[in-house]
């Protein structure tokens, strides 16, 4: 019973945190601009690849990110402070710079014009890294994994729930990216602006909270 409670609790915490930082709706709008000159079949292929790569990035950060930090001697408090500041900075830029996504889309559009090995390359960079699952996503995933329980039974449920959240988000990325053109038409220009600003504000709050958690850990260190 503890296993499934831990899994449900982990899923309910991990999914909204990852969803807010990944922002698949905003990412779909960027994807639509970057792949505007490609055929429908190519866009479907790219959407599937980005969803798969995003899943690998999130699972890698969840399962192995903490061990990488230990290898380089980086404390979790430092990660939270740095990651929170990066996330808050990105969110503030999104709130104050309405043309930011368009500029990034134009930059990505210059890199991808044919669907060969180049198409495979842009599926990971820049479409997956950093446009979909960038440093902010990795920071959130690692910080979340650092809160894992010590009880072996609860630990299994924790990682099951977090992995399920990452898998569901990867599925949403694939669905939204392959439907990016219809999503753009459905929301309209005003809807796109409202949704982007709302998600950016939530992202700003998340970044601030992560930073505060890191500062608190420095000021009031507890047992590891």
Average the pLDDT over 33-55 and give the result: 89
In 10 A of CB 37, how many CB atoms?
11
Q: Closest Cα partner for 122 from 112, 133, 137, 130?
A: 112
Q: Which of 158-162, 176-180, 198-202 has the lowest mean pLDDT?
A: 198-202
Within the chain, residue ranges assigned H as helices are 2-22, 24-34, 40-72, 76-96, 100-111, 117-124, 135-145, 152-178, 180-219
What is the per-residue pLDDT for 71? Answer: 85
Q: Closest Cα partner for 146 from 77, 55, 222?
A: 77
Is residue 224 one of the residues assigned to a domain?
A: no
Q: Closest Cα partner for 142 from 79, 82, 86?
A: 79
Confidence (pTM)? 0.70
- Angle in degrees, CA 54, 171, 155, rounded to 5: 75
Tens-digit pLDDT profile for residues 105-159: 454 444 444 455 556 678 887 788 877 887 778 888 988 888 888 888 899 999 9
Res 101 pLDDT > 50: no
Q: 40 or 112: whose pLDDT is higher?
A: 40
Is residue 16 one of the residues assigned to a domain?
A: yes
Domains identified in the chain, total number: 1
Cα-to-chain-centroid distance, residue 4: 25
Tokens representing residue 30 in the block:
């960027």
Whole domain around residue 129: which residue ranges? 2-219
pLDDT band at 187 (very low <50, low <70, confident <90, very high): confident
In 10 A of CB 193, how many CB atoms?
12
Is residue 38 one of the residues assigned to a domain?
A: yes
């Amino acid at each position: 019973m503890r296993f499934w409670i831990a899994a449900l609790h982990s899923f309910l915490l991990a999914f909204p945190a990852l969803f807010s930082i990944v922002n698949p709706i905003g990412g779909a709008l960027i994807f639509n601009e970057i792949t505007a000159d490609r055929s429908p079949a190519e866009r479907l292929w790219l959407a599937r690849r980005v969803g798969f790569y995003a899943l690998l990035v999130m699972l890698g950060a969840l399962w192995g990110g903490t061990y990488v930090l230990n290898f380089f001697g980086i404390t979790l408090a430092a990660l939270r402070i740095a990651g929170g500041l990066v996330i808050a900075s990105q969110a503030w830029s999104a709130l104050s710079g309405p043309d930011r996504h368009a500029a990034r889309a134009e930059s990505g559009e210059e890199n991808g014009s044919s669907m060969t090995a180049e198409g495979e390359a842009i599926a990971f960079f820049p479409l997956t890294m950093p446009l979909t699952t960038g440093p902010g996503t990795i920071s959130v995933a690692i910080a979340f994994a650092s809160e894992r329980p010590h009880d072996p039974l609860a630990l299994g449920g924790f990682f099951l729930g977090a992995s399920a959240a990452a898998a569901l988000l990867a599925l949403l990325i694939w669905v939204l990216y392959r439907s990016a053109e219809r999503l753009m038409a459905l929301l309209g220009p005003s809807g796109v602006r409202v949704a982007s600003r709302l998600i950016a504000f939530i992202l700003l709050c998340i970044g601030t909270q992560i930073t505060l958690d890191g500062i608190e850990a420095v000021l009031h260190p507890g047992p590891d």
